[in-house]
Amino acid sequence: MDRYLVPLSPSTEIPKPITRPRWKRSVIELNGRFEPKYRHDISSLLMRSYSEIAAFAHSYHIGGVPCQTHVSWITNGGYIDDPAPFRKQGVSALEFDTKGIYLVSATKLGCLTVHDYETLFCQVNSKCPVGLKEDEKKHVLHISACQQLDVVRWNLANQDEVACTSMKSSEVCIFDIGYISSEPVEVLRKRPTITVHGHDVHKGLSDIAFASNDDSRLFASDACGVINVWDRRMSDLPCLELTTNSNSTLNSIRLTAENQIIFGASKNGIIYMWDLRGGRSSSAFQSHKEVNFSPLTSVKLASMLEKIGSLKAQSNIVSKEIHSIDINPSCPYQLAFHLDDGWSGVLDIHNLQVSHIHCPPPPWLDGSIDSGQSVILAETIMATNIFNLCSWIIIE
pLDDT digits (tens, 9 = 90+) for 108-165: 888 899 998 888 888 777 655 555 677 777 788 888 877 889 999 999 999 999 999 9
pLDDT tens-digit readout, 290-317: 567 888 899 999 999 998 888 888 778 8
Report the alpha-carbon distance of residue 243 to residue 353 in Å, rounded: 23
pTM, to two decimals: 0.73
Task: For each of the domains in the chain, give its residue range(s) and CATH number, in order of start.
Answer: 37-77+87-126+133-362+373-394 (2.130.10.10)
- Residue 36: the pLDDT is 73
pLDDT tens-digit readout, 100-111: 999 999 988 888
Q: Where are the extended beta strands (E) located within 53-156?
A: 61-62, 65-66, 91-96, 102-107, 111-116, 141-144, 151-154
Res. 286 pLDDT band, cuts 50 70 90: very low
SS3 call for 30: helix
- Residue 47: the pLDDT is 74
H or E element in which residue 262 lies: strand 261-266
What angle is formed at CA 135 by the lines to CA 132 and CA 140, rounded to 5 degrees?
Answer: 140
pLDDT tens-digit readout, 206-251: 999 999 988 899 999 999 899 999 999 999 999 999 999 888 999 9
Return all residues near 184 (Cβ < 8 A) that are at least 6 apart: 173, 174, 175
Backbone dihedral region of 374: left (phi > 0), alpha (psi from -120 to 50 degrees) or beta?
alpha
Res. 7 pLDDT band, cuts 50 70 90: low
pLDDT over threshold 60, residue 271 = yes
Looking at residue 200, what DSSP letter applies?
B
